[in-house]
Structure 1
Amino acid sequence: MTGSHNAVDVIRTKRDGGRLSDDQIDWVIDGYTRGVVADEQMSALAMAILLNGMDGAETARWTRAMVHSGDRLDLGGVTRPTVDKHSTGGVGDKITLPLAPLVAACGAAVPQLSGRGLGHTGGTLDKLESIPGWRAALSPDEIRDQLNSVGAVICAPTDGLAPADKKLYALRDVTGTVESVPLIAGSIMGKKLAEGVDALVLDVKSGSGAFMKSDADARALAEALVGIGAQQGLRTSALLTDMNTPLGRTVGNAIEVAESVEVLQGGGPADVVALTVELAREMLRLVGIDVEGAADPAAVLASGRAYETWARMIRAQGGDPDAPLPTAAHRHEVAAPEGGTVLRMDAYQVGIAAWRLGAGRARKEDSVSAGAGVRLLASLGEQVAPGQPLFELYTDNPDLVPAALAALEGSVEIGVPQADSTSAPQLVKDVIRTTAD
């Protein structure tokens, strides 16, 4: 890497619609990681990228520089094929919890490095931390040992993994540059490539409760992510899934864990089961495991074998899978104002309500309430009577209920369905794969 660059020239190149060279990208990411490039300079570059974009080769090089800014997780000693899943976030998106042990029970190893929630989208680590004794922080050696002994681990990213992304992510959040597809793609894939897995499946959501509201934007992001994976030699595919309606019947932390356990024990909501199985099939396909025989995810899930792996995974991280989960001190029911069929239930509004009850955080340093959240007592296509409960709200602080009720105002549409309407959205809209898959 040459030292002949300076931040202002790099900014001007992208400001004027030019293409950043590999050397410019390597230099600016390395310089930002070391503090040579200042926050205000990286802010200007991020805005220029948001406005003028980056082509596929630039985005791939940006991602590569993110990976090389820190350490990579060495999974060389893991005896099974390794595969991970990343979701772009949603409401009631508890899929990682049943998915990781399910895929492990089918023969792969799943090193699921997860994050915490912010705003209306929940965080996997927040949910699991409602289990007494469970810990998120593991060393690389502990991750490798658990992958060999159990087959699945869900934990926080290890120190030193893609440090440039950690700095840039916080900067984008306060400079209005979060929405840039190249920067989103570089952030997601930088972290995932640093994990060192054999394959990656992406769950890219669209709808009111998703980061990408439109199908077109979600597809553009999915194609960018899969393209980066292909260029970096990582087997990658993406499912485009619906997030207009919350997943399952629970939105929160402990209540989502309880629902995930139901799924792992052969029950649970049909949409959570369906998406878990679809993602599991794709993950196993990418690492060459036949899903038609003993490793059929639907059969393994129904058999309870995935639950056995879950219990071993929780115990391996200090948790007690049999311990009672935290419950909120206060409950409040929300009744249907009229009778009819539930035609719409807005995921974003339900997510905001759960957040306002204490299940989420406004800033990264905020704490969350394990017992807070929203339970859906009716779902799309169901008939409800006037006064029938639609939601049950949980919180430790009853003063938070009015704000949650305000968020839910107008979130449900009840009426008479049209003759050509469908009661449930298409959960998986498409699958994006490279030609090599």
Structure 2
Amino acid sequence: MPNSTPLEAFDAVDVIRAKRDDQVLSPAQIDWVIDAYTRGVVADEQMSALAMAVYLNGMTDEEISAWTHAMIASGETMDFSGLDRPTADKHSTGGVGDKITLPLAPLVAVFGVAVPQLSGRGLGHTGGTLDKLEAIPGWRADLSNDEMLAMLRDPGAVICAAGAGLAPADKKLYALRDITSTVEAIPLIASSIMSKKIAEGTGSLVLDVKVGSGAFMKDHASAKRLAETMVTLGRNAGVRTSALLTDMSTPLGMTVGNALEVREAVEVLAGGGPADVVDLTVALAEEMLRLAGTNDVDVRAALTDGRAMDVWKTMIERQGGDPDADLPRAQETSEVVAESDGVLMELDALAVGMASWRLGAGRAKKEDPVQAGAGIEIHVKPGEAVRKGQPILTLHTDEPARFARAEESLAGAIVVEPAAEGADAAAASIVLERIG
């Protein structure tokens, strides 16, 4: 009986070997391997080998563009052209204490620019926007396309989960990269982010590319290279795109963890909150509005006069949440104190993120649950004076057995030096550079 299995255009082993040997893959090879992986013809172990070859040998700009468009073509795309207003979105490459999406989306919507913010859940030491919002009683992440469009019309912003049909190849590859130590590959990061954002259909996109210990990109040069790659991908696809390189050497704001970060975001929407969170929210809002063609508006005023808060409350209510409900609190707390007098010189973002994860605020695998109340409160930021025995951090968890592992993560993360040596430790601007 003849074999009825259709003949594939390429062989996975040949594609893997080509990239292993540092050859340039053709657009046809890339289209095939992404489609075949989505269909299950290319196995996980084969895609793992290809991802490692990409990690080790890199890709040309042409390869990255073809890879990105192949992932877009693996699923559906969204279209917001029927809205009566421009659209703008923001994407962060992930950091510690990064709750910026929460105040940013309603703030931008105040000025007549719709914000379709498709977000994800946390994995490892970086928190996920959906995990944070799910700390609000009743709030739901999954919306239909019709529900999403209705919210973009009124109140003008939505934060929700991306539908299963959006770049499905990326969903498979994203999970694989995490368990094969290929997350940091710039071609794979850039194509992962931009395939989803281009498929999402936003007219403008601002990328918040984190730099420092708590970010995937540890140094300025690699972060800039990633930003430039993504800006080029966006613009070539017809999306007005720019990037801000922002500091992630120390945690953002004064909280890390789901419910803790929601409380801080609400403080910002009420006209208060930590200066670094407010400054970055405003900077990103101004950049989103600039790309969308809305200039000469007082963004900070919309935080202080309640307009952004009004949009926030409507957003939460429309997705089943109670914006005025009490948020979960952890059952147990423990303090980390200064061991000497002086000035706090360093508070390492990666270590704090790992400690928060070990307290239960994050997950090791995508199906793991998270504790809504777990996380870390920060009482002192770099540049501030401390006294011996003064609390620097408060750890929150429902399971006290987690404290020891969290404290292990913080070994060496807190550096206090005598005041005279620490005189110049004041924090610099959180925005390091603009690309595009």
Shorter-chain TM-score tier: over 0.9
Q: Provide structure 1 residue ranges, at least 5 long, that are not aligned to the other structure.
A: none
Q: Provide structure 2 residue ranges, at least 5 long, that are not aligned to the other structure.
A: 1-6
- Counterpart pick for 2:354 among 352, 358, 376: 352
- Counterpart pick for 1:275 among 272, 277, 280: 280
**Aligned pairs for 1:328-339 within 5 A:** 328-339=330-341
How many Å separate the matches in 2 of 1:110 and 1:376?
A: 30
SS in 2 for 1:344: strand
- Counterpart pick for 2:218 among 192, 197, 213: 213
Shift of 1:41: 2.1
Does the C-alpha gap of structure 1 residues 305 and 336 become closer, same or farther in structure 2, counting only changes over 3 Å?
same
1:16 maps to 2:18: no
- Counterpart pick for 1:68 among 67, 70, 73: 73
- Counterpart pick for 2:426 among 423, 427, 431: 423
How many Å separate the matches in 2 of 1:407 and 1:175?
A: 23
Instruction: Quote the residue 2:375 is aligned against.
Output: 373
SS in 1 for 2:15: helix
User: What do residues 92-131 of structure 1 show as CA deviations (whole Å, max 9, x unaligned)?
Assistant: 0000000000011122101111111111111100000000
How many Å separate the matches in 2 of 1:368 and 1:43?
A: 28
Aligned residues: CA RMSD: 1.4
Shift of 1:420: 7.3
Instruction: Quote the residue 1:28 is aligned against.
Output: 33
Shift of 1:419: 7.5
SS in 2 for 1:103: helix
SS in 1 for 2:272: coil
Amino acid paired to 1:86: H
- Counterpart pick for 2:386 among 358, 361, 384: 384
Amino acid paired to 2:11: N
User: What do residues 292-327 of structure 1 show as CA deviations (whole Å, max 9, x unaligned)?
Assistant: 2xx321121222210110000000100000011111
How many Å separate the matches in 2 of 1:328 and 1:177?
A: 34
- Counterpart pick for 1:106 among 84, 96, 111: 111
How many Å separate the matches in 1 of 2:408 and 2:52?
A: 34
Instruction: Quote the residue 1:135 is aligned against.
Output: 140
Runs of 4+ deviating beyond 3 Å: 417-420
| C-alpha contact 2:9 2:32 (8 A) present in aligned 1 | no
TM-score normalised over the length of structure 1 = 0.95
| C-alpha contact 1:60 1:232 (8 A) present in aligned 2 | no
1:340 maps to 2:342: yes
Does the C-alpha gap of structure 1 residues 388 and 108 become closer, same or farther in structure 2, counting only changes over 3 Å?
same
Instruction: Quote the residue 2:3 is aligned against.
Output: none
- Counterpart pick for 1:148 among 150, 153, 158: 153
Amino acid paired to 1:426: S
SS in 2 for 1:203: strand
1:83 maps to 2:88: yes
1:363 maps to 2:365: yes
Amino acid paired to 1:162: A
Shift of 1:74: 2.5
Shift of 1:150: 0.9
| C-alpha contact 2:345 2:422 (8 A) present in aligned 1 | no
| C-alpha contact 2:337 2:393 (8 A) present in aligned 1 | yes
TM-score normalised over the length of structure 2 = 0.96
| C-alpha contact 1:91 1:246 (8 A) present in aligned 2 | yes
Does the C-alpha gap of structure 1 residues 74 and 21 become closer, same or farther in structure 2, counting only changes over 3 Å?
same
Amino acid paired to 1:231: N
Shift of 1:3: 5.3
How many Å separate the matches in 2 of 1:302 and 1:130?
A: 25
| C-alpha contact 1:77 1:144 (8 A) present in aligned 2 | no
Shift of 1:10: 2.0
Percent identical: 62
| C-alpha contact 2:383 2:424 (8 A) present in aligned 1 | no
1:190 maps to 2:195: yes
Q: Which moved more, 1:78-87 or 1:9-18?
A: 9-18
Amino acid paired to 1:11: I
1:56 maps to 2:61: yes
**Aligned pairs for 1:247-266 within 5 A:** 247-266=252-271
Instruction: Quote the residue 1:231 is aligned against.
Output: 236
Amino acid paired to 2:263: A
Instruction: Quote the residue 2:300 is aligned against.
Output: 298
Number of residue pairs matched by the alignment: 429
How many Å separate the matches in 1 of 2:306 and 2:131?
A: 25
How many Å separate the matches in 2 of 1:305 and 1:154?
A: 18
Shift of 1:14: 1.8
User: What do residues 219-275 of structure 1 show as CA deviations (whole Å, max 9, x unaligned)?
Assistant: 111111111112211111110000011000000010100000000010000000000
Instruction: Quote the residue 1:171 is aligned against.
Output: 176
Shift of 1:384: 1.3
